[in-house]
């Protein structure tokens, strides 16, 4: 393996969605620190601009582009602007923009929440892969990282909306990795557990779910910077899966080796710890987030 292919996250021409905060901003800053140029895209142009300012203040190169990943037209324009700035194809694309929905059982979660989460968490990576995979394949070199979640394989009650979207993003990544095998393009799915970002505060969660998630994040979450470094190093090694925390690795193995036992145990815990219905819960926060 050549040095170039082994260290593809260094001196990369990168496109990062949801780069305005959290994991996306951490990806952008780390890639710039590794000597690359970064297109920082976000639905909030001011947030993307702040990430660019942080990069340029450290001597890096970056530009901000507004992009709503749920719109294919926006992603196509993102690709055009990125290639114009790079003067050629990108070498690394990170489909990171995402949102969280939780706190209600299937049948109680509003269909509008399903549509919202699917449009960003699933259609965002689909649009990103649909637009950028052919560009990287034609170039014969590059990488794609899709930010999924440990919820993709360790689904929890009252988190169906989020888990379904992330499970689909993981399947998308696995399929794309197989399709691009031998083309010079690597694909990695990032599957973390709790990461210290603003995802809880800016998602659509019941008050109780937001409180529990925030507490778990404070107690067990790791920084997005640690997650990003581990993911990029995994990607450089050609890994399809990145589990940046021990609990994510253990969860992956347990659900693969004993899926029925895992599901029954989770259901038992849920029955004895959760109210019978979540339909009456109030206190939803409805706003879009990135990364």
For the stretch 116-133, pLDDT in tens is: 999 999 999 999 999 999
pLDDT at 274: 58
Given 141, 162, 241, 262, the catalytic residue: 162
Q: pLDDT band for position 285 (50/70/90)?
A: very low
Q: Report whether 136 contacts 179 (CB < 8 A).
A: no
pLDDT at 197: 83
CA distances from 172 to 28, 95, 127, 144 (A): 23, 12, 11, 11
For the stretch 194-226, pLDDT in tens is: 898 877 777 787 787 777 767 777 777 789 999
Q: Report whether 125 contacts 179 (CB < 8 A).
A: no
pLDDT at 284: 39
- 3-state DSSP assignment of residue 68: coil
Q: pLDDT band for position 14 (50/70/90)?
A: very high
Residue 150 is classified by DSSP as: G
Tokens (6 digits) for 7 = 């260290």
CA distance 167 to 95: 15
DSSP calls for 136-149: HHHHT-EEEEEE--
Number of neighbouring beta carbons within 10 Å of residue 126: 19
CA distance 242 to 174: 12
Mean pLDDT of the chain: 89
For the stretch 158-180, pLDDT in tens is: 899 999 999 999 999 999 999 99
Domain boundaries, the chain: 3-273
CA distance 282 to 204: 11
Lowest mean pLDDT among 44-48, 138-142, 270-274: 270-274
> Which of these, 51, 57, 1, 56, lies nearest to 27 by C-alpha position?
51
pTM of the full structure:
0.88
Axis-axis angle for helices 123-139, 160-179 (nearest 10): 10
CA distance 173 to 117: 18
Tokens (6 digits) for 43 = 């639905």
Number of neighbouring beta carbons within 10 Å of residue 48: 30
Would residue 162 show up in a list of annotated catalytic residues for this protein?
yes
Fold of the CATH domain 3-273: Rossmann fold (3.40.50)
Strand partners, 222: 195
């Amino acid at each position: 393996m050549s040095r170039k292919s082994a260290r593809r996250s260094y001196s990369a021409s990168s496109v990062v969605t949801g780069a305005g905060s959290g994991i996306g901003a951490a990806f952008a800053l780390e890639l710039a620190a590794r000597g690359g140029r970064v297109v920082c895209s976000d639905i909030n142009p001011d947030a993307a601009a702040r990430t660019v300012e942080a990069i340029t203040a450290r001597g890096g190169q970056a530009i901000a582009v507004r992009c709503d990943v749920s719109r294919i037209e926006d992603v196509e324009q993102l690709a055009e602007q990125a290639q114009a700035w790079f003067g050629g194809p990108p070498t690394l694309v990170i489909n990171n923009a995402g949102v969280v929905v939780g706190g209600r059982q299937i049948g109680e979660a509003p269909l509008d929440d399903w549509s919202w989460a699917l449009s960003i968490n699933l259609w965002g990576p689909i649009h990103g892969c649909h637009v950028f995979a052919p560009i990287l394949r034609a170039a014969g070199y590059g990488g794609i990282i899709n930010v999924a979640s440990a919820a993709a394989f360790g689904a929890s009650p009252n988190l169906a909306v989020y888990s379904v979207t992330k499970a689909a993003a993981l399947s998308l990544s696995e399929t794309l990795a197989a399709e691009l095998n031998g083309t010079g393009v690597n694909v990695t799915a990032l599957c973390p557990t709790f990461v210290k970002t603003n995802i809880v505060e800016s998602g659509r969660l019941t008050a109780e779910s937001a409180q529990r998630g925030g507490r778990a994040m404070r107690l067990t979450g790791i920084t997005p910077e640690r997650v990003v470094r581990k993911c990029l190093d995994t990607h450089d090694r050609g890994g399809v899966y990145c589990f940046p925390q021990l609990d994510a690795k253990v969860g992956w193995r347990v659900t693969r080796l004993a899926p029925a036992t895992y599901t029954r145990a989770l259901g038992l815990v849920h029955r004895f710890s959760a109210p019978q219905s979540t339909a009456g819960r109030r206190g939803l926060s409805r706003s879009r987030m990135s990364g």
